[in-house]
Amino acid sequence: MAEISAPTMARKTRGVPRSKKLSTRVDLTPMVDLGFLLITFFIYSTELHKPTVMPLHLPADSAPTPAGASSVITLLLDKNNSIYYYEGADPATGKSVDQHSIRTILLDKKRRTNPTWFEVIIKPSKNATFGNTVNILDEMKIDNIHHYVLTDPTPYESEILRAKR
C-alpha cells in the first residue's frame, strides 16, 4: 500500500504571528422585537380619521302635519347639477337653476315664509348623482333649514324634468 508522507521540514513564518479572526456576527433578534413593539405602539396610539357624517333625524310615526302650499318649496334634482324648483303645489310653474344659485332662492323663500311652517321637499330623479343629493343636504345644513323631506318624484314631475332637458 501506498502511504502519504508529510514533509519533515516545518515552515517557519517570519514577522508577527497571525491572530485568530473572531466572528463579527451580530444577533438582530432583539432589534426585530423592538421594531415590532414600536409598530404596535404607533398603531394603538394614533387616532384614525373618523368620517364626518351629518345626523339625519327621522320623524316619529304619527299623523302627518298639514303644511300650507305657500310655505313649501320643492327641489327636483336632475343630471348635470341642474335643479328644477317650484313653490306651492303646481310643478308646471317651476324654474330651472344650477346648484350654485339655489342658496339665494332658498334663503329668499325662508325669509318670506313663517319659519315654523317652512319646508323643503327634495326629490332626486333617477339621473341625479349621489353627490348632487349630498350637496343639497349640505345646503340645508348651511342655510339652517331644519324641515326638509327627501322623497321620490311623482311621475308627473319626472315628465316635467324630461321635457325641460
pLDDT digits (tens, 9 = 90+) for 68-117: 678 899 999 988 888 999 988 888 888 999 888 899 999 999 898 887 88
Asked whether residue 159 carries a pLDDT value surpassing 60, the answer given is yes
Grid coordinates representing 51?
A: 368620517
Per residue in 12-21, pLDDT (tens digit) is 666 676 777 7
- Residues in contact with 75: Cβ distance below 8 Å, sequence separation at least 6, in sequence order: 83, 84, 85, 102, 120, 121, 122, 123, 136
How far apart CA 16 and CA 131 sit, in angstroms, is: 83
| Interval 59-71 mean pLDDT | 72
Element (H, E) at 158: helix 155-164
| pLDDT at res. 5 | 57
Rounded mean pLDDT of the chain? 83
Look at the pTM and tell me if it is higher than 0.75.
no
Per residue in 120-139, pLDDT (tens digit) is 999 999 989 888 999 999 99
